[in-house]
Amino acid sequence: MKNVDSKLLLGLVVGAAVGAAVGYLAATDKREDLLNELNSVVGKVKEGFNSALAKYKEGKAEAVKPVEEVIAE
Q: Per the confidence metrics, is the pTM higher than 0.75?
A: no
Alpha-carbon distance of 57 to 67, in angstroms, equals: 16
Q: What per-residue confidence (pLDDT) applies to 7?
A: 80
Which domain range does residue 28 map to?
Answer: 2-72
Q: What per-residue confidence (pLDDT) applies to 46?
A: 92
9/2: higher pLDDT: 9
* Tally of domains in the chain: 1
5 pLDDT above the threshold of 60: yes
Alpha-carbon distance of 4 to 8, in angstroms, equals: 6
Alpha-carbon distance of 60 to 15, in angstroms, equals: 40
**pLDDT tens digits, one per residue of 14-70:** 989 988 888 877 776 777 787 788 889 889 989 988 888 888 888 776 666 665 565
73 pLDDT above the threshold of 60: no
